[in-house]
Amino acid sequence: MEYKRADGEYKGISGNEITGLEKGEYYIRFKETEFYQASLDKLIIIDEPAVIRIDETVPQDINLETPIQTEDKLEINVAKANEAAPEIKNIANKKAMPMVLEITAKVNNIPVSTLSHLIKITLPLPEDAKGKNITIYRLHEGKAEEIPIGEANKNADGEYAIVGADNVVIFAKNFSQYVIAYQINTNNTSGAIGKVPRHTVTVTQSEGGKITPETTSVNNTGSQKVIITPDEGFEIKDVIVNGKSVGKVLEYTFHQITSTSTITAIFQKIIDEPNDTWKNPFTDVAENSWYYKAVKFVNEAGLMMGIGSTTFAPNINVTRAMFVTILYRMENEPNVDISIIPFTEVESGSYYEKAVAWTNENGIIKGVSETEFAPNDTITREQMAAIIYRYAIFKGLDISTVNDTSYADSADISDYAKEAVAFCTENGIMNGVGSGQFAPKSFATRAEITAVIERVMKILK
């Protein structure tokens, strides 16, 4: 989370309180991450010095991330419960359940059980569950079911979980009760105390690649991870587990093994495709959209990724952090000394930290003050022109212009940006938005910046 005064910059929050606030208007929100856009501002008015409780509907040891990109108000309530629902107990087969959570959601103050997008929920793994074979159960609209482990095994709604050594990350959009469970080992064989049955995981190798490890034996209810590696010139066509396809996965983990299991992989030779073939992964970038070719260009070049595996979000406004990261990638991410960063709110280890250091050092994008960079501020079209202009100077391009913008709203262009707008216009880097307007104060979108970056890269060639 992060907060700011109405007239200030956002500051990060540690813990679940903001103390020592003076009278005034404040905003709080989920901060931007490399994967998710910052959530919408929530206004809080303080009439006297006070403490703001932050996200008190979520336990302190649990973290939420949500890709909010609309004007809808989303509220998530996470509460720890004492006991799992009977429906979950019925399918859990007497497993231990060290964590039970009741998760509810509201959109615009209306309770809902399903959201249009995934929420990322990070939970600490209870001590007694560490090192165990974890199963995650969910009760939704009266139906109890397991949440698939691993993105490759996600369900029809795109939901799945990742189990780490110390935490569990759940990507979900359907809510009510979630349970972390593990098998209590009570198995004895032939009356021998402490003897645990073992089961074979049979690996069948095939031409074109290799599965590691080879055939192995695993304790009852244990797990076994295997890695599928194609040979050079080959790719995975399919992986078959216990006679059923699990798709083109590079790894597979057997969970809760209670009988003999089998795995084999089918490999095929890679057929070279033309270099100009791009498989569009983004469902929100139509082939007939004006920015399609630009998105293709920046994505193939590794300059801009989606905000998810299938979402590019072309209409989202570009932040200063996003823009510096793109420019930094255009320079192949040169080495930089992050200790020279003068900005106190640039978080250590953030995805944009090195980019801020590089662009500031080279005079391409400066801070909004000597100690503030404002990474989450959105960029206007005239600011984008000014940044591109300074980048052109850095690259040694000819920046001479006739300085005649000839836009109907030229008077609205700030003095500092007039030469930059003229340069971008005369070199075909930026155009008007229609009706002879440049719209200098309008915010730049991800779609617009793809076109600008493509044109700059082609000039540099």
Torsion angle of alpha carbons 325, 327, 332, 335, nearest 10°? -70
Cis peptide before 213 (omega within 30 of 0): yes
Beta bridge partners of 105: 76, 112
Cα–Cα distance for residue pair 128/61, rounded to 1 Å: 16
Per-residue pLDDT at 169 = 87
Q: How many residues does the chain have?
A: 461
The tokens of 408 are what? 């109907």
- Structure pTM? 0.43
Question: What does each of the 461 residues of the chain score in pLDDT, given as a tens digit?
Answer: 677 877 778 787 655 566 666 777 777 776 665 445 566 666 666 655 444 433 445 566 677 666 544 456 677 888 888 889 999 999 888 888 999 999 888 877 888 888 887 888 888 888 888 888 889 999 998 899 999 988 878 888 888 888 887 888 888 888 889 999 988 765 444 444 445 578 889 999 999 999 998 888 888 878 888 999 998 888 898 999 998 888 888 989 898 888 899 999 999 888 655 455 788 999 999 999 999 999 999 999 999 988 888 899 999 999 999 999 999 999 999 999 988 889 988 888 898 999 999 999 999 988 888 889 998 999 999 999 999 999 999 998 888 876 666 788 888 999 889 999 999 988 889 988 877 888 999 999 999 999 999 999 988 87
Residue 450 three-state SS: helix
Distances (CA, A) of 52 to 3, 48, 61, 251, 289: 10, 12, 18, 45, 44
Whole-angstrom distance, CA of residue 205 vs CA of residue 122? 37
Q: What is the pLDDT of residue 461?
A: 74
Domain borders along the chain are: 2-53, 63-182, 198-269, 292-460
Closest CA to 225 of 246, 256, 258, 255: 255
Beta bridge partners, 264, equal: 204, 240
What spatial distance separates the first Cα and last Cα of the chain, rounded to whole Å? 42
User: Taking every pair of C-alpha atoms in the chain, what is the biggest distance, in angstroms?
Assistant: 94
The phi-psi region of residue 349 (left if phi > 0; otherwise alpha if psi is between -120 and 50; otherwise beta) is left
Q: Rounded to whole angstroms, how far apart are CA atoms 306 and 314?
A: 9
8-state DSSP, 362: T
Torsion of CA 371, 372, 373, 375, to 10 degrees: 140
As a whole number of angstroms, the distance between CA 354 and CA 373 comes to: 13
Distance CA 273, CA 269 (A): 12
What region, left, alpha or beta, does residue 20 occupy, with left being phi > 0 and alpha being psi -120 to 50 degrees? left
The Cα 36–Cα 32 span in angstroms is 6
For residues 2 and 12, is the Cβ–Cβ distance under 8 A? yes
Query: How much is the pLDDT for 67?
Result: 53
CA-to-CA distance for 9 and 370, rounded, in angstroms? 13
CA distance 426 to 399: 10
Cα of 10 vs its chain's centroid, Å: 20
Beta strands 261-269 and 114-124 are unpaired
For the chain, the C-alpha Rg in angstroms (whole number) is: 27
pLDDT of residue 459: 87
Q: Are the C-beta atoms of residues 391 and 362 closer than 8 Å to each other? A: no
Contacts of 355 (CB under 8 A, 6+ apart): 321, 324, 325, 327, 328
Structure tokens at 392: 């052109």
Q: What is the per-residue pLDDT for 119?
A: 83
